[in-house]
Amino acid sequence: METRDETSAGGLVVSGMAEAVGPGGNVDLSRIYVALIGRLDKRGRLLWSMPKGHVEDGEHQWTTAEREVWEETGISGEAFDTLGVIDYWFVSDGVRIHKTVHHNLLRYVDGVLNDDDPEVTEVAWVPMSELIERLAYADERKLARIAHDRMPALARKEAKAGRATPR
């Protein structure tokens, strides 16, 4: 069977980090939001995942992440940190594909959620405190746990730098 490698990138665009930092540096994760996409599976179930897509020739994976997040959610984000890599195998049209997906954290810059992308059924802002249980895929839930655990320190860093979320 023919084998092919494919590479994608995407991630979590995050909004409200600095604003979630309270007195004494406590961080309220329910005030930090991430944009997710929902797609219908073959059984008609809505499955939530992180936006992502194919890395174009010569394109840096952060550029891909920013482009794909915008295409799939309508949100412009600026990649600022890596989150992790997922790789898996599947068969499509008689070709065995090894897919590597680079996930990143992106800072919200601008935009309004929309599901104009024909590959996307629905888009939503989800509180960081609910992210892990919302995601459909175990590998993405593992990355969400990493984001969840790192978010308080990242939010404090954003607040200290004076980076308020654009409104």
Taking residues 8-22, what's their average pLDDT? 97
27-56 pLDDT per residue, tens: 999 999 999 999 999 899 999 999 999 999
Residue 88 in any domain: the answer is no
Q: Note whether residue 67 is domain-resident.
A: yes
Which one is predicted more confidently, 117 or 48? 48
pLDDT over 80 at 167, yes or no: no
For residue 76, give the CATH number of its domain: 3.90.79.10
Partnered with residue 122 across adjacent β-strands are 38
Residue 39 forms part of a structural domain: yes
Q: Can you give the pLDDT at residue 166? A: 85
Residue 1 pLDDT level (bands cut at 50, 70, 90):
confident
Q: Structural domain tally of the chain?
A: 1
Nearest alpha-carbon partner for 68 in 82, 84, 79: 79
Q: Specify the pLDDT at position 18.
A: 97
* CB distance 76 to 111 below 8 Å: yes
> Is residue 133, in this structure, part of any structural domain at all?
yes
Cβ pair 22, 114 in contact under 8 A: no
> Does residue 29 lie within any of the structural domains?
yes
Q: Is residue 166 situated within a structural domain?
A: no
Is 94 part of a structural domain of the chain? no
Q: Whole-model pTM?
A: 0.93
The fraction of the chain above a pLDDT of 90, given in percent, is 93
The range of the structural domain enclosing residue 129 comes to 10-83+102-161
Is 73 part of a structural domain of the chain? yes
Q: What is the pLDDT of residues 66-90, one digit of tens each?
A: 999 999 999 999 999 999 999 999 9
